[in-house]
């Protein structure tokens, strides 16, 4: 009972007063019976006040805590509190409101700065795409071993810029997608075409099996994911790299498998590959690891409702499965 302790000074003052009164009454020649009665009444009233006020206080504070629990943004608490009961509470209330105001200002500034930075990054990425496109066209119009090497590097630059764009955007993807019916094969061949020079310069053998399925999803997000997976397969390639694309139909699902025969991921690192910034053992061996690619893939897949599974054996290769749910509505209509 902490509330009881708050009342301690009042109780002590009361007891002192009672003692003084008892002494005064006894000195005035009152009988012990009368004095005991007066003292009993005093103590009774004191006890009743103590119990009653503690109980009320306890109930009130409990209600406040419950109210705060329900609030999503607790820093707005000062706004919803009941009117202050005492002068002291009124002062504390003003202090809380001052703290809240200054914090809201700080949060607002931070949010604005963050948004402006993100907008700048997005704008920058759109601008960098113009020179990349110009570079690609220049190389395409003057094909030579050098320009092919250059095109492979331009594809790498594209990977990194796209990664930055999707990183900047990944928190508000819900505003930015267009779901369409896409043939799985078109999407895979498109992704291979986008990485043509990178794959050829690194002598990656491509095995693209028949992929008859159709999926409903956002083309550019999935293309981005495939780009990152292809980029990883090239980055962590083995001595005679091979990349296989295959699809597998399961009841209610279409699964796209991207399998390489690269250096693989150690079993200890595997559970953590989707963590942001995690590079693991391979990251220490290959210096261009960022720990961002797979993290973004996972994040986008979660937002798009695509399953993402990864299996790997160290030294033997890695297989990534993208699992698309086939729309029941469409399947049910047939």
Partner 1 sequence: MSYYKILIVEDDPVIREQLRLLLAGSGYQAQAVADVPAAIRQMESFGPHLVVLDIGLPGASGLELCAQIRSVSNAPVVFVTSSNNDLDELNSILLGGDAFITKPYNPAILLARIASLLRRAYPAAGEELLRWKGAVLHPESGKLEYQGRTVELTRNEQKILWYLFKHAGTICPRADLIDFLWDNQLYIDDNALSVHVSRIREKLNAIGLEGFIQTRHRQGYLI
Assign residue 29 a region (left: φ > 0; alpha: ψ between -120 and 50; beta: otherwise). left
Q: Identify the residue among 90, 137, 146, 331 touching partner 1 (CB under 8 A).
A: 137
Please identify, using beta-carbon distances, which residue of 42 and 124 lies nearer to partner 1: 124
By CB under 8 A, tell whether 86 contacts partner 1: no
Please identify, using beta-carbon distances, which residue of 6 and 186 lies nearer to partner 1: 186
By CB under 8 A, tell whether 227 contacts partner 1: no
Question: CA 79 to CA 261: how far, in whole Å?
Answer: 60
Listed residue (196, 226, 204) closest to 301, CA to CA: 226
Question: CA 322 to CA 302: how far, in whole Å?
Answer: 11
- Which positions ≥6 away from 77 have C-beta within 8 Å? 68, 71, 96, 100
By CB under 8 A, tell whether 181 contacts partner 1: no
| H/E stretch holding 204 | none
Minimal distance, residue 304 CB to partner 1, in Å: 13
By CB under 8 A, tell whether 126 contacts partner 1: yes
Q: Identify the residue among 145, 239, 251, 332 touching partner 1 (CB under 8 A).
A: 145
* Residues in region 146-175 near partner 1 by CB under 8 A: 148, 154, 158
Listed residue (311, 152, 307, 288) closest to 225, CA to CA: 307
Please identify, using beta-carbon distances, which residue of 129 and 321 lies nearer to partner 1: 129
Please identify, using beta-carbon distances, which residue of 19 and 133 lies nearer to partner 1: 133
Please identify, using beta-carbon distances, which residue of 92 and 120 lies nearer to partner 1: 120
Burial of 288 per CB tally in 10 Å (0-12, 13-18, 19+): exposed
Q: Identify the residue among 5, 60, 143, 272 touching partner 1 (CB under 8 A).
A: 143
Question: Could you tell me which stretch among 104-112, 190-198, 263-271, 322-330 binds partner 1 (CB under 8 A)?
Answer: 190-198
Q: Helix %, strand %, coil % for the chain, to 5? A: 65, 15, 20
Contact 256, 222 (CB under 8 A): no
Q: What is the DSSP string of 61-118?
A: HHHHHHHHHH-SSGGGHHHHSPPPSSHHHHHHHHHHHHHHHHHHHHHHHHHHHHHHHH
Please identify, using beta-carbon distances, which residue of 79 and 186 lies nearer to partner 1: 186
Q: Identify the residue among 11, 22, 64, 206 touching partner 1 (CB under 8 A).
A: 206
Binding site for partner 1 (CB under 8 A): 126-127, 129-130, 132-134, 136-138, 140-141, 143, 145, 148, 154, 158, 176-178, 189-190, 192-194, 196, 199-200, 203, 205-208, 218, 220
């Amino acid at each position: 009972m902490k509330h009881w302790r708050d009342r301690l000074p009042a109780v002590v003052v009361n007891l002192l007063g009672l003692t003084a009164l008892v002494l005064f009454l006894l000195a005035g020649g009152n009988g012990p019976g009368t004095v005991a009665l007066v003292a009993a009444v005093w103590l009774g009233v004191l006890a009743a006040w103590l119990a009653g006020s503690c109980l009320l206080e306890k109930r009130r504070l409990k209600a406040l805590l419950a109210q705060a629990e329900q609030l999503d943004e607790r820093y707005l608490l000062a706004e919803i509190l009941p009117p202050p009961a005492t002068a002291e509470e009124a002062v504390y209330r003003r202090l809380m409101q001052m703290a809240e105001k200054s914090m809201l200002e700080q949060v607002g500034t931070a949010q604005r700065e963050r948004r402006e930075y993100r907008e700048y990054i997005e704008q920058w990425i759109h601008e960098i795409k113009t020179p990349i496109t110009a570079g690609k066209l220049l190389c395409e119009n003057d094909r030579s071993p050098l320009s092919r090497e250059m095109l492979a590097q331009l594809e790498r630059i594209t990977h990194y810029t796209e990664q930055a764009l999707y990183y900047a955007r990944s928190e508000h993807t819900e505003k930015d997608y267009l779901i369409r019916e896409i043939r799985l094969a078109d999407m895979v061949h498109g992704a291979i075409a986008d990485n043509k020079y990178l794959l050829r310069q690194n002598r990656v053998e491509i095995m693209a099996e028949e992929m008859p399925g159709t999926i409903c999803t956002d083309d550019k997000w999935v293309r981005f994911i495939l780009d990152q997976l292809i980029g990883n397969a090239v980055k962590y390639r083995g001595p005679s790299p091979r990349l296989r694309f295959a699809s597998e139909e399961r009841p209610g699902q279409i699964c796209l498998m991207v399998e390489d025969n690269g250096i693989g991921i150690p079993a200890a690192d595997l559970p953590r590959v989707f963590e942001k910034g995690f590079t693991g053992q391979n990251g220490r061996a290959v210096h261009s690891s960022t720990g961002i690619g797979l993290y973004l893939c996972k994040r986008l897949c979660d937002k798009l409702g695509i399953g993402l599974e990864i299996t790997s054996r160290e030294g033997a290769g890695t297989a990534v499965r993208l699992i698309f749910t086939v729309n029941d509505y469409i399947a049910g209509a047939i």
